[in-house]
Chain A
């Protein structure tokens, strides 16, 4: 298993440009999410999905869109990039929350390697 794969690893954008961060997992996890990490701010949840066709907002959703057309993929779209969106982005997945508390290992959230995004 490759686990959680996200691309690109590094990206520089100009203000106003749009782009998509790709995320794929091969563990058949129903739950997927996107976090951004800024110095001193920890990991803040942007959007999450509990299954194909279902998405919901996290703590900091403004300026980002997501979709979940398949179990495997969960892309994050920046519609009009702003310097405030300069950050490290992590995609993460987790086994189905329906049976999360029947299996200890099902609670574990697996992160991708991260995408370093700079908006100038």
Chain B
């Protein structure tokens, strides 16, 4: 089955600097890669996602890049702000037609801290 590895597990950056979180996946057939943000004591919420037919996607200060050949994808946050402090999860899922297509498998998470 699909396996998703996420690095680093913790990340501390100065406010205003950029943060990068990286994930790798095992099943080359996976074609949907969402990123979730979880604030302390709250539920995970989708912040951005990307499909395998796209190499990069941006939404204001957040961007995600995908390298299908290397089977890895990354989250980039620019001009970090205190409210970016949270745990971030990457995930991957297979396309329809696979028996486990509906499953979304998550990485282990990255705790991002923004230093003032």
Contact = CB atoms under 8 A, between A and B. Distances in A.
Contacts of B106: 35, 42-45
Interface string B12-52: 00000000000000000001101000000011111001010
Contacts, number: 65
Instruction: Report whether over half of chain B's contact residues are helix, strand or loop; otherwise say mixed.
Output: loop
B105 interface: yes
A28 to B, nearest CB: 16
B43 A109 contact: no
Contacts of A101: 31-32, 51, 95-96
A17 interface: no
A107 to B, nearest CB: 6
A113 B39 CA distance: 12
B6 interface: yes
18 contacts: A31-B102, A33-B103, A40-B108, A42-B89, A43-B44, A43-B89, A45-B104, A45-B105, A48-B103, A58-B103, A97-B102, A98-B96, A100-B96, A101-B31, A107-B49, A109-B34, A112-B43, A113-B43
